[in-house]
Structure 1
Amino acid sequence: MAPPRPLDALDARILQLLLERPRTSVREYARVLGVARGTLQARLDRMERDGLIGDPVPRLSFGALGHPVLAFVHIEVTQGHLVEVGDALAEIPEIIEAFSVTGGGDLLTRVVARDNGHLEDVIQRLIRLPGVVRTRTDVALRERVPYRAGPLVASLRRAAGDSG
């Protein structure tokens, strides 16, 4: 895999605009940025091809969907069973993300639940998966920094020499 190409100032401005106005048309983005629509489309196509941006997916509120409990479940897996456990996690709808990690476990999952009893049911389901040795659960009390990419993009924009 080739190393990522450094962002130039226009790339960074495009990313910032995508974050600030995700539902805007390409034509409007081009107008705001002061570039030709074809130039903008070529940049967007390259960013997508390079994996920098993906298909836009709405950011859902799991609380509004009736699943206000958020927990991070660390899973320790028997050696050699990481793939099978990962595949099994994908079958549990309450698991909204899972990562292989270093440190105090092999997998880290982000789990949503209707209430604490439902969370316990999900954890019990995890414990019964073949290859799972043990779990440790951290329940989130309050979101302190919501998902964001803007500050990083602003930093990259400054690094690319764009002060505007």
Structure 2
Amino acid sequence: MAEIYQLDNLDRDILKALMANARTAYAELAKNLSVSPGTIHVRVEKMKQAGIITGARVDVNPKQLGYDVCCFIGIILKSAKDYPSALKRLESLDEVVEAYYTTGHYSIFIKVMCRSIDALQEVLINKIQTIDEIQSTETLISLQNPISRTITP
């Protein structure tokens, strides 16, 4: 079993700073945290090797790009063995931005972003519901996203 990397306060402070702005230079982090840039580099590399830091990204506002409709779709598969092939088909759809394999009523729960309700209808009828492995779906349209955050280190 792999050893779990134990975060200390410096690691947490580094993560918080990088999560707020992944482009922050190590030298600036070092100055703000009263350590050397080498220390920052070593800590970041250790967290990368431990799988804590998995990358850096740019967050975009979907509405500013014209994606006005966000919805969540619960999917019931015909059979549990259909999961891999259904997931492969869903992954090929640009509108599907997240997918979860779940317990409970749904086998898969996905997040879909579309430019309009008409576009959502097109995705549902001509893309998602044509996947043979899917027995049924339930769509929930998001009205707003008042909380959006990641886990605090």
Runs of 4+ off more than 6 Å: none
Structure 1 residues 144 and 3: CA distance shift in structure 2, 3 A:
farther
1:159 corresponding residue in structure 2: none
Contact 2:71 2:113 in 1 (8 A): yes
1:112 corresponding residue in structure 2: 113
Q: 2:135 aligns with which of 133, 136, 140?
A: 133
2:82 corresponding residue in structure 1: 81
The alignment-based identity, stated in percent, is: 26
1:98 corresponding residue in structure 2: 99
Distance in 2 (alpha carbons) for counterparts of 1:93 and 1:49: 31
Q: Which amino acid aligns with 1:146?
A: S
Distance in 2 (alpha carbons) for counterparts of 1:10 and 1:77: 45
Distance in 1 (alpha carbons) for counterparts of 2:84 and 2:53: 26
SS in 1 for 2:56: coil
Query: RMSD of aligned C-alpha atoms?
Result: 1.4
Distance in 2 (alpha carbons) for counterparts of 1:31 and 1:20: 16
Query: How far 1:19 sits from its partner (Å)?
Result: 2.2
Alignment TM-score, normalising by the size of structure 1: 0.86
Q: Which amino acid aligns with 1:85?
A: A
Alignment TM-score, normalising by the size of structure 2: 0.92
Q: Which runs of 5+ in 2 are unaligned?
A: none
Does 2:43 match 1:67? Answer: no
SS in 2 for 1:81: helix
Deviation per CA, 1:89-135, whole angstroms, max 9, x where unpaired? 11100001111011121111110011111111111211111201111
Moved more, 11-20 or 109-118: 11-20
Query: How far 1:3 sits from its partner (Å)?
Result: 5.0
Structure 1 residues 104 and 58: CA distance shift in structure 2, 3 A:
same
Q: Which amino acid aligns with 2:45?
A: D
Query: How far 1:17 sits from its partner (Å)?
Result: 1.2
Query: How far 1:72 sits from its partner (Å)?
Result: 0.5
Q: Which amino acid aligns with 1:96?
A: V
- When the two structures are aligned, how many residues end up with a matched partner? 151
Task: Select the structure with the greater relative contact order (CA < 8 A; seq sep ≥ 6).
Answer: 1
Q: Which runs of 5+ in 1 are unaligned?
A: 154-164
Query: How far 1:78 sits from its partner (Å)?
Result: 2.1
SS in 1 for 2:62: coil
